[in-house]
Structure 1
Amino acid sequence: MSVQTLDALINDFIAMVETSTLIFEEKFGNRDIRRLWHTKAIKRRGRVTRGVKYELHGIGCRINLSTGTVDFDYGPNGEINGFDICRLYFFACERPSKYRKYCDKKIIEKEFAEYIDLKKSRKSP
């Protein structure tokens, strides 16, 4: 059985966002596809490949892969390495066999606050 840590959850989340946006880059020539949506070059939601669907929202995107779903926001310069409690919580809840501990929102909130206090991450301005 693997040890459930917030670091592992965050790393898995960021890795899945990275993998997902690479699929966008292969299909559309860019990882940040919001501009394509805003110029109506692509629809707000659609299919990238047979097993990959996306839905753009506000400043972010929800991607459904055969291995699960990940929802993230793009940073001001197209960054994809941000996360918050809600996104990590939903990500964990989709993977209860791996992250059962973090399917409890109180636990993730407590550990996330400690994570910030330890300066392992920082809040966005």
Structure 2
Amino acid sequence: MKNEELEYLIDDFLAQVEKATALLEEKFGKRCILRLWGTKQIAQRGSVNDEVTYELHGVGCRVYLPDACVDFDYGPDERIDGFDSWRLYIYANEVPKKHPKYTELDHVKRDLDEYIAAGKVERIKNSMSRLYFKNKTLW
């Protein structure tokens, strides 16, 4: 079972997260900037450059890129490759022409639940509700 639309959404979301964290690293010297905020070395909200801003929250970060906003959580060991139905849904609504099917939360939940049941994604210990691909390169 392979759902190309769902994988396209997840891959697109994770590519934007990667882009956002690369910009954060360029600006702050770290991909995970939560500790910088926690130790008051940076503000909760601010600019990365003239076109990009960020907003930290809980264990995550929202980055406003020129074309879309991407909201992600830092996972165990500062992982950034986690996702969940809510974050995918929010992202799909940022770029609805790319992911029209997933502008409905029920569609995201249904397709993601099928991937969970099929064992293609898993919850990682200490990662709250975030999901990760088990080993995408093998299928």
Scaled to the shorter chain, the TM-score interval is over 0.9
Match of 2:136 in 1: none
Identity rate of aligned residues, in percent?
A: 48
- Alpha-carbon distance in 1 for matches of 2:56, 2:68: 17
- Alpha-carbon distance in 2 for matches of 1:106, 1:35: 35
Match of 1:12 in 2: 12
Match of 2:103 in 1: 103
State the Cα RMSD in Å.
Answer: 1.3
Deviation at 1:118, TM superposition (A): 1.6
Runs (5+) with no aligned partner, structure 2:
126-139
Match of 1:122 in 2: 122
Give the letter for the 1:63 counterpart.
V
- Alpha-carbon distance in 2 for matches of 1:76, 1:98: 30
Give runs of aligned pairs for residues 41-120 of structure 1, distance below 5 A.
Answer: 41-120=41-120
Deviation at 1:34, TM superposition (A): 0.7
User: Can you list the C-alpha shifts for 1:59-84, whole angstroms capped at 9, x where unaligned?
Assistant: 00000000100000001211000000
Count of matched residue positions in the alignment of Structure 1 and Structure 2: 123
Deviation at 1:108, TM superposition (A): 1.0
Secondary structure of 1:80's aligned partner: coil
Secondary structure of 1:77's aligned partner: helix
- Alpha-carbon distance in 1 for matches of 2:28, 2:40: 13
- Alpha-carbon distance in 2 for matches of 1:62, 1:31: 13
Secondary structure of 1:9's aligned partner: helix
Check conservation: 1:4, 1:98, Cα contact below 8 A: no
Structure 1: 4+ residue segments shifted above 6 A: none
TM-score by length of structure 2 reads: 0.85
Runs (5+) with no aligned partner, structure 1:
none
Deviation at 1:12, TM superposition (A): 0.5
